[in-house]
Amino acid sequence: MGVAEELVATPARRAFIELHCHTSGSFDSLADPQAVARAAARRGLTHLAVTDHDRIDAALRLRDTAPPELTIIVGEEVKTADGDLIAVFLREAVPPGMSAVETIAAVREQGGLVGVPHPFDGLRGFGRKSGAVLESIAHLVDWVEAYNARVVGGSANEKAALFAREHGLPGVGASDSHTVLEVGVTYNIVTGDPGTPEGLVAGLSTVDFVPGRASFYVRAWTPVAKVVQSMKGNGRRRAQETRGEIR
């Protein structure tokens, strides 16, 4: 068999990736990072972006201790002045509170990628407080969450999917998990190896996602987690508290 025939006969490698996942590193989650990684591997994920709110310390630790069949991508859900952004492939935590444009620039300086989570969610949507227009940064991001498993009611996911199509952006799915039970309820299928920025960009060009949803009972643990974390002194971090988290 010639090289060309062999390439045609060999199916492209598929990867199964979650791009939005929280652990007890977040102020609103009690999910043990090791349990999260084990659940992800057990459920067939090959790549998991750990995107705790405004910090990366748990992701850094998990990267070196996760099951060998699971690649951990160090990420962060950054609270910008305009709304939340997902950043992945980070070496340092990106401080919250900057504008969306400044935040994206800070991520790019590290060679990272940026996505927009739950952009039209009534409580967590991008620009909800500041009035910033999502269109103004569409050309600066790498993907949009076309489906977020934690969005409740309304047509937020449908609007996000339409926005992604209209702006030529990959539309991904996200579990946005805050508990171990939610890990992988929604995931993305890409070709190639999304374990590098270049590989993920290439994979997102043909991304397909499998939607799912956790029960309201599971999501009800989030306010409980906020109280517990606050009592432990692990409340939401301020900008100066993110400095020093470097791989």
Supply the CATH number for residue 22's domain.
Answer: 3.20.20.140
Kindly state whether residue 245 falls inside one of the protein's structural domains.
Answer: no
Kindly state whether residue 182 falls inside one of the protein's structural domains.
Answer: no
Q: How much is the pLDDT for 119?
A: 94
DSSP sequence for the chain: --HHHHHHHSPPPEEEEEEEE--TTSTT----HHHHHHHHHHTT-SEEEE--BT--HHHHHHHTTS-TT-EEEEEEEEE-SS-EEEEES-SBPPPTTS-HHHHHHHHHHTT-EEEE-STT-TTT-TTTTT---GGGGGGG-SEEEEEETT--STTHHHHHHHHHHHTT--EEEE--BSSGGGTTSSEEEEES-TTSHHHHHHHHTT-EEE-----HHHHTHHHHHHHHHHHTT--PPPGGGGTT-B-
Kindly state whether residue 133 falls inside one of the protein's structural domains.
Answer: yes
Kindly state whether residue 23 falls inside one of the protein's structural domains.
Answer: yes
Kindly state whether residue 132 falls inside one of the protein's structural domains.
Answer: yes
Note down the domain range covering 61.
13-172+197-221
Q: Domains in the chain: how many in total?
A: 1
Kindly state whether residue 181 falls inside one of the protein's structural domains.
Answer: no
Q: How much is the pLDDT for 193?
A: 97
Q: How much is the pLDDT for 34?
A: 98
Reference 169, options 194, 143, 147, 187; nearest CA is: 143
Kindly state whether residue 106 falls inside one of the protein's structural domains.
Answer: yes
Q: How much is the pLDDT for 1?
A: 44
The pTM of the full predicted model, rounded to 2 decimals, is: 0.88
Kindly state whether residue 85 falls inside one of the protein's structural domains.
Answer: yes
CA distance 234 to 237: 8
Per-residue pLDDT of the chain (247 residues; tens, 9 = 90+): 444 454 455 567 999 999 999 999 999 999 999 999 999 999 999 999 999 999 999 999 999 999 999 999 999 999 999 999 999 999 999 999 999 999 999 999 999 999 999 999 877 767 565 546 799 999 999 999 999 999 977 799 999 999 999 999 999 999 999 999 999 999 999 999 999 999 999 999 999 999 998 777 677 778 887 888 888 888 777 655 554 454 4
